């Protein structure tokens, strides 16, 4: 379809740029006494909390036996992060599992190095007559962008309920999570497929309800955000790569063991009190873990339904580095 084609073209251009310019990641090996450089990209939101803990507590620096200078960058989408890896300007990132699968299978020089989090996803509506996907005709559905994990989840639900993974592609309006929430509450769109904390905020509003769509196709606890690292970093500076992996594990352990403290840290970003943030962190669908869950299911679906420009992965190891556990 037209929207899918644009997504594929932009990623292909990014790969060609990387091949043409021959750039490599910044986090390669450094000589004796030299300072390693590392650029890390992520996005805002509860799902990325381990990155904030890593930065706040200098966990990579603590786990690395050497000097490292880290640049932290907040970007708008997984596709933007993919372009950064392709150009050699990003070494490590956290992103949705769908764009990560797209990146690996398209030749972006990275693999998954850790899981980060699972978060609640819901299709919400301001129209009480919409109870299932079959009730949607020309109504507009806001989600982050074409090819995002939210788009893939909608497609999985459409295949299950409507028999066609692309049945609702033309209903999509690409919007950031906060813009989509504003549009849903204002009535500018009829539905939004979004994640935390927006699902929590929107369900508190009068007239907003959940459409029965996602639970059967993407159960609570399945991977949402994964961490990826450049193959250059893993091959040329394995000590720094291991420090990054351990930092993710340490940050996730800290979150799971200190939720009240983490709620205090995160609440200001979401403009809520710490008690509210703690209730969100304790939601059963909010899971922080280094172990991936369900990514091969998503990869196989994406391959079978023409969301990937190349063949899908043959095995779990095609998508992840050797240290990663999961499925």
Strand order in the sheet with 110-118: 68-74, 36-42, 92-96, 225-230, 110-118, 287-288
Chain centroid, CA 233 distance in Å = 21
Count CB atoms within 10 A of the CB of residue 134.
11
Residue 10 has pLDDT above 70, yes or no: no
Residue where the block lists tokens 């300007």: 89
Rounded to two decimals, the pTM is 0.87
Residue 268, token pair as written in the block: 């200001």
pLDDT at 77: 72
Residue 11 has pLDDT above 60, yes or no: no
Count CB atoms within 10 A of the CB of residue 12.
15
The per-residue pLDDT for range 15-57, each reduced to its tens digit, is: 434 433 333 345 554 445 689 999 999 988 899 999 999 999 9
Count CB atoms within 10 A of the CB of residue 182.
15
For residues 236-274, one letter each, b for 16 or more C-beta atoms within 10 angstroms of the residue's C-beta and e for the rest, the string is: bbeebbbbbbbbbbbbbebbeeebeebbebbbeebebeb
The per-residue pLDDT for range 262-302, each reduced to its tens digit, is: 999 999 888 899 999 999 999 999 999 999 999 999 999 99
Residue 29, token pair as written in the block: 């090996």
CA nearest 90: which of 31, 56, 30, 43? 43
The per-residue pLDDT for range 156-188, each reduced to its tens digit, is: 999 999 999 999 999 999 999 999 999 999 999
**Integer angstrom CA distances of residue 313 from 152, 230, 290, 317:** 17, 18, 21, 8
Strands 92-96 and 36-42: parallel
When pLDDT is cut at 50, 70 and 90, the band that residue 1 belongs to is very low
CA nearest 134: which of 106, 112, 109, 164? 164
Arithmetic mean of pLDDT, 192-196:
96
In the chain, the percentage of residues whose pLDDT exceeds 90 is 79
| C-alpha–C-alpha distance, residues 39 and 199, integer Å | 31
The per-residue pLDDT for range 91-127, each reduced to its tens digit, is: 999 999 999 999 999 999 999 999 999 999 999 999 9
Chain centroid, CA 286 distance in Å = 14
Arithmetic mean of pLDDT, 132-160:
95
Residue 4 has pLDDT above 80, yes or no: no
How far the first Cα of the chain sits from its last, in Å, is 30
Residue 100, token pair as written in the block: 């990560």
């Amino acid at each position: 379809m037209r929207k899918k084609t644009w997504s594929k073209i932009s990623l292909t251009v990014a790969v060609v740029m990387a091949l043409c310019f021959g750039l490599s990641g910044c986090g390669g090996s450094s000589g004796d006494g030299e300072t390693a450089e590392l650029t890390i990209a992520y996005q805002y939101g509860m799902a990325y909390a381990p990155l904030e803990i890593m930065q706040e507590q200098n966990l990579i620096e603590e786990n690395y036996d050497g000097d490292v200078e880290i640049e932290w960058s907040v970007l708008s989408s997984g596709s933007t992060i993919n372009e950064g890896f392709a150009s050699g300007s990003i070494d490590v990132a956290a992103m949705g599992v769908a764009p990560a699968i797209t990146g690996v299978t398209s030749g972006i020089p990275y693999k998954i190095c850790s899981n980060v989090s699972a978060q609640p996803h819901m299709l919400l509506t301001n129209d009480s007559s919409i109870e299932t996907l079959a009730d949607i005709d020309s109504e507009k559905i806001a989600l982050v962008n074409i090819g995002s994990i939210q788009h893939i989840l909608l497609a999985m639900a459409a295949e299950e309920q409507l028999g066609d993974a692309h049945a609702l592609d033309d209903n999509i309006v690409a919007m950031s999570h906060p813009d989509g929430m504003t549009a849903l509450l204002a009535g500018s769109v009829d539905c939004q497929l979004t994640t935390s904390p927006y699902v929590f905020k929107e369900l508190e509003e009068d007239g907003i309800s959940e459409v029965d769509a996602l639970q059967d196709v993407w159960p609570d606890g399945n991977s949402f955000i994964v961490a990826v690292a450049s193959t250059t970093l893993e091959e040329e500076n394995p000590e720094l790569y291991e420090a990054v992996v351990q930092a993710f594990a340490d940050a996730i352990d800290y979150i799971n063991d200190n939720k009240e403290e983490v709620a205090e840290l995160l609440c200001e970003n979401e403009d809520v009190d710490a008690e509210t943030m703690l209730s969100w962190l304790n939601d059963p669908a909010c899971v922080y873990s280094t172990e991936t869950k369900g990514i091969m299911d998503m990869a196989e679906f994406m391959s079978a339904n023409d969301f990937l420009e190349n063949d899908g992965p043959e095995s779990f190891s095609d998508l992840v580095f050797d240290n990663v556990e999961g499925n």
